[in-house]
Amino acid sequence: MKLLAVGSVAFDAIETPFGKTGKILGGAATFIGLAASAMKTEVSLVSVVGGDFPQEYFDLLKSKNINIDGVEIIKNGKSFFWSGKYHNDLNSRDTLITEVNVLADFDPKIPEHSADAEVLLLGNLDPAVQLSVLDKMKKRPELVILDTMNFWMDIALENLMKIIAKTDVISINDEEARQLSGEYSLVKAAKKIREMGPKFVIIKKGEHGALLFHESKIFAIPALPLEDVFDPTGAGDTFAGGFAAYIAKKGKFDFETMKSALIIGSALASFTVEKFGTERIQNVTSEDLTDRINRFKELTTFEALV
């Protein structure tokens, strides 16, 4: 099945307890594309950058078989720039700078070849843009996956609720699920969020794994305990990209497929956090991925004891 993803393609500057970068390649759609590429799944990106975006980055994305026909270049504009600083535990961060630049007037253009994509991943962006992408599709995709964050709950709740109502799968973190639902219990939160529209609710819990809710069913996975966690930027986008890529590859939307997709998304996100920015995820081999999936299996399989 065809996979189309919309999100930011950007410059990031990151500070963690282990060091600091200058302006490097970032953006939600970038991580989504690289995750799909690591899954050997074709993906088309819809985004916008400025004339300052280096050819080297386009070449990198193209070399990973990521279709960027839908990435518009505004020659006299500047690319989106985000800068963040992580606290000592790496679980929380402060946004230092958000320069929206060309993303401010983003009018997404969907390439003809992708307007009938069966799987649409609406990466973390202004819900108004997410709504317009869905509107511009030739037909309603078979599966719409939404990634969002508390920032949009604070400033664009009305549009966010509109897009949530049109979504099949929503991916958010625990804090955001609580904010969106007003419930502390994640089980109650997921139930309320399902009542807003999505049949499937994914709640990410950072280094504590993720939960998948569907009807009365719950599936839980841990995060792989890693020796080196260096920079969590893009972990959520990588997760969503890997999840969507697996589903597009399988062409099935049932709970069992979603469970496997959750593992794939988490395995891929575990690479992203090992180095700054896209450095690790852009170099993941099939062997690396297989190895990590096997580690997930080892970590979670046991014999029934009674």
Closest to ligand AMP by CB, 41 vs 233, is 233
Judged by CB under 6 A, does residue 151 bind ligand AMP?
yes
Min CB(83)–ligand AMP separation in Å:
9
Is residue 29 within 8 A of residue 66, CB to CB? The reply is no
Judged by CB under 6 A, does residue 10 bind ligand AMP?
yes
40: left (phi over 0), alpha (psi -120 to 50) or beta: left
Closest to ligand AMP by CB, 30 vs 114, is 30
Show the binding pattern over residues 107-126: x = contacts ligand AMP (CB under 6 A), - = does not.
Answer: -----------------xx-
Considering only 4, 5, 6, 8, the residue that binds ligand AMP (CB under 6 A) is 8
Judged by CB under 6 A, does residue 101 bind ligand AMP?
no
Question: Residue 237, SS3?
Answer: helix
Closest to ligand AMP by CB, 86 vs 253, is 86
- How many residues are present in the chain? 306
Question: Residue 217, SS3?
Answer: strand
- Chain position carrying tokens 């309603």: 140
Min CB(223)–ligand AMP separation in Å:
14
Q: Where are the alpha helices (DSSP H) in the chain?
A: 28-38, 55-63, 127-136, 150-155, 157-165, 174-181, 186-195, 235-250, 255-272, 286-300
Question: Which pair of structure tokens corresponds to residue 21?
Answer: 């970068």
Cα gap 197→66, rounded to integer Å: 30
Sign of CA dihedral 278, 282, 283, 286: positive
Min CB(11)–ligand AMP separation in Å:
8
Cα gap 182→160, rounded to integer Å: 16
Min CB(81)–ligand AMP separation in Å:
8
Judged by CB under 6 A, does residue 27 bind ligand AMP?
yes
Closest to ligand AMP by CB, 84 vs 197, is 84
Stretch that binds ligand AMP, among 4-12, 196-204, 244-252, 253-261 (CB under 6 A): 4-12
Judged by CB under 6 A, does residue 141 bind ligand AMP?
no
Closest to ligand AMP by CB, 198 vs 277, is 277
Considering only 2, 4, 16, 26, the residue that binds ligand AMP (CB under 6 A) is 26
Cα gap 242→257, rounded to integer Å: 13
Q: Which of residues 232-261 bind ligand AMP (CB under 6 A)?
A: 233-237
Who's near 191: CB < 8 A, 6+ residues apart?
213
Give the binding site for ligand AMP (CB under 6 A).
Answer: 8, 10, 12, 26-28, 82, 98, 124-125, 151, 233-237
